[in-house]
Amino acid sequence: MRSYLNGKFVDADAAVVPVTDRGFMFGDGVYEVTRSAGGDLIELTRHVRRLTRNLREMAISLRESDVATMVDVSRTLLRDNRLDGDALVYWQVTRGAAPRVHQFPPVGTVPTVYVATMPVTLPHAVRTRGAVAITTPDIRWARCDVKTVNLLPNTLAKQRAVESGADEAIFVRDGTITEGASSNVFAVLDGELRTHPRSPYILPGVTRDVVLEVAGEAGMSVREEPFRPDDLARASELFFTSTFNDVMPIVRVDGRTIGSGRPGPVAQQLYAAFLERVSPVAAAP
């Protein structure tokens, strides 16, 4: 596989950054994961907008033209790596390599820019049986709206989930469900679609935005208001959304069955509407 690092196309195995890179030292960088099917990128504009915002929020200076280059490079890599089926596209920008001090490095330090593509098998089998989740305390910082490479609480939560045989960990902060370790979470409560509102405590997922849009278009009642683990007992459905999972029904949380214990009609309808919305880029299985 070819990848791209700091202006050069390189073999993925040969893509190396100095140990002084601030991404390595401090987790001082931001990233995006987007998906392609048939060589084109799903919801590209939203991913570019989020990357640009995150760079600005973290005061990492990358020119607009450099972001445009990352998009061009992604398409080149998909073609050169012959990824004309489902693939993930990974973008990472760090504050660059510089002697280790906590404060920002000298002006003129060049950000590290990395682009990679990889084939992916989408989790259709999990979608058919329904995913299993655990809840776990949300111990993250108060800027979860920025997609930084500081992912330690997320990796710890996901590891706990996997060790207990689950597919996803759901974060709980101050008694309310925020989001998943790598996804946004929705419930169907009293016939209404509910999800945590945009706030510093969740990542504004691209899939979340599209799902909210298609739900609105389908005439569903949607409320962006937090819900609590206690509410799950009366939820008719629960699902999570992400670039890799699209819309993924959850049938069990902490060993308790959700709704009928099978993927429900709302998640199925939203998944179909999501696919239609992003097609012809993403095709149904």
Q: Among residues 36, 54, 92, 182, which is the contact residue for ligand PDD, using CB under 6 A?
A: 182
Pairing outcome for strands 87-94 and 29-37: antiparallel
Annotated active-site residue 158? The verdict is no
Question: Binding to ligand PDD by residue 183, rule CB under 6 A?
Answer: yes
The b/e string for 63-99 (b: 16+ C-beta within 10 A; e otherwise) is eeeebebbbebbbebbeebebeebbbbebbbbbbbbe
Q: How far is the CB of 193 from ligand PDD (least distance, A)?
A: 16
What is the Cβ-side half-sphere exposure of residue 3, based on CA atoms within 13 angstroms? Answer: 20
Question: Binding to ligand PDD by residue 203, rule CB under 6 A?
Answer: yes
Applying the rule CB under 6 A, the residues between 31 and 70 that interact with ligand PDD are 33
Question: Binding to ligand PDD by residue 133, rule CB under 6 A?
Answer: no
Which element (helix H / strand E) includes 52?
Answer: helix 44-57
Who's near 97: CB < 8 A, 6+ residues apart? 17, 18, 20, 21, 22, 109, 112
Which of residues 202 and 266 has its CB atom nearest to ligand PDD in the complex? 202
Question: Binding to ligand PDD by residue 148, rule CB under 6 A?
Answer: no
Q: Among residues 243, 247, 252, 263, which is the contact residue for ligand PDD, using CB under 6 A?
A: 243
Count of residues near ligand PDD by CB under 6 A: 15
Which element (helix H / strand E) includes 113?
Answer: strand 112-119
Question: Binding to ligand PDD by residue 275, rule CB under 6 A?
Answer: no
Which residues contact ligand PDD (rule: CB under 6 A)?
Answer: 33, 154, 179, 182-184, 203, 205-208, 241-244
Active-site positions read 147
